[in-house]
Structure 1
Amino acid sequence: MPHPNQLISLLHLASPALPIGGFSYSQGLEAAIDSGFVTDAETAEVWIRDNLLHVQAHAEAPLWILLHRCWQSSDHAGVAAWNEWFHVSRETAELRLETEQMGWSLARLIAQMGWGDEGLRAALLAQSPVCLPTAFTAACVALGVDAREGLTAYCFSWLENQVAAALKTVPLGQVAGQRILYRLYPALQEAVAEAARRADSDPPMLSTFSPMLGVLSARHETQYSRLFRS
């Protein structure tokens, strides 16, 4: 049985009003625009879809499911291991700082809100650093959100933030951004399904191979003019 407040909790966690600073990051999109790979609504949609299906779905999303399972079973050693794995998989300083800052902000919010039991909150705050997927999965377990629905909300939040970054930087109009969001519904569902398949394999199939994103993220660190922190 789904938790009776699952939908409300999902809306809360996926809201851009959640005070963890997601609006300040573009995850390489700003560098892709500066380098000429993204120039309009069509190329922005291609960039976001490719990252959703071939970056998020291959590593961060299946890892999210594994972390959710660890929190559900109170496997705090497993949480620590996957949290460390994700942190060392970040290829650039900006990507590491992004997950550290957002993860710390969400972990602090969980503590302040009193979500979950004392053991969960203590285990979360014991992570140093705490990565965003680790904190988000902890919040989902604390609020009674199941893995599939929680991951969908997590990926939609990422997707919405990418579109918001494109609106500011390409730039795009509001309607163009909404069209991109709507057209990427099937890709979002596909990414969640692929993540589940990878998490369920033995051993889990996680791949961080994304050389273009790594190069662009590294370039962004010294980009002359920028709006975003990544």
Structure 2
Amino acid sequence: MDRENSTPDRQQLLRLLQLSSPLLPVGGYSYSEGLEQIIDRGIIRDRETLQAWIDRELQTGAIRIETAMVDRAYLAGMAGDLERACYWNQWLSAARETEELRLQSWQMGGSLVKLALELTPEIADSISAIGNPCNYAIAFGVVAQSWQIDRDATILAYLHTWVANQLGVGIKSIPLGQTAGQQILWHLQANIDALARTIPTLADGDLYACSWGLSLASMQHETLYSRLFRS
């Protein structure tokens, strides 16, 4: 192997691992996106029901829209069309079904923007053009493109991170063992890959989701008597 020619790919991989790391200080681990409420009601109660919920969300839920926004922000950054990235940022804010989900996206997006500017100040113009508040999916796409991370890998990483966060909620709240969480993640790999392949093909007219269950759970979660998670 030509080590010199392989260096850019290795650098991309390292940047991708950092961007998708659970150590990234954006606070994703503190949100359940309504899942804690559903677990409290007994709708999700074991490994099978948790896996089925995440699988349905991958097929028809809001994560499809979020990931499509990651891709659109990535393409806007690549084309230097940051007005387009700003448009999709505003679109995603308006498309959020609940205040809780919107505030989560803004908080995580703001944290990622702050970190990215600390690490790579040269992207300040790109970030500022998006506007404030910045949704997490938009920030993720713009930062990934600025860091020259592969487009397809960016999509996969975003989906994998979301699934891992949802599994973390289930492991703590049901509760489940760590092995059960890894078994679910293993079995969902094909579903994650299938959605990742679909995302770049979605036209603007395909940006819809069936996520009323998630929306109701998100709205009800703030009144849950005892909570481990913020939303």
Q: Same fold (TM over 0.5)?
A: yes
Provide the secondary structure at the position in 1 that maps to 2:206: coil
1:159 aligns with 2:175: no
Equivalence for 2:181: 177
After TM superposition, the structure 1 = structure 2 runs for residues 75-224 of structure 1, keeping only pairs within 5 Å, are: 75-114=81-120, 116-124=122-130, 127-198=131-202, 201=203, 203-224=204-225
Q: Would you say the 8 A contact 2:61–2:209 is kept in 1?
A: yes
Shift of 1:118: 4.0
Provide the secondary structure at the position in 2 that maps to 1:96: helix
Equivalence for 1:48: 54
Please tell me the residue identity of whatever aligns with 1:195: I
Distance 2:220 2:37 in 1: 7
CA displacement, residues 17-64 of structure 1 (integer Å, 9 cap, x when unaligned): 000001100111111101221000110111111112211453112222
RMSD: 1.7
Q: Would you say the 8 A contact 2:34–2:221 is kept in 1?
A: yes
CA displacement, residues 131-189 of structure 1 (integer Å, 9 cap, x when unaligned): 00111112101111122110100110111111111100000001101101111100100
Identity between Structure 1 and Structure 2 (%):
35
Q: Which structure 2 segments of 5+ residues have no match?
A: none
1:11 aligns with 2:12: no
Q: Would you say the 8 A contact 1:87–1:96 is kept in 2?
A: yes
Q: Figure out how many residues of one structure are paired with residues of the other and give that number.
A: 225
Which of 23, 27, 48 is matched with 1:21 structurally?
A: 27
Distance 1:109 1:57 in 2: 23
Shift of 1:113: 0.9
Which of 43, 49, 62 is matched with 1:37 structurally?
A: 43
Provide the secondary structure at the position in 2 that maps to 1:117: helix
Q: Which runs of 4+ in 1 moved over 4 A?
A: none
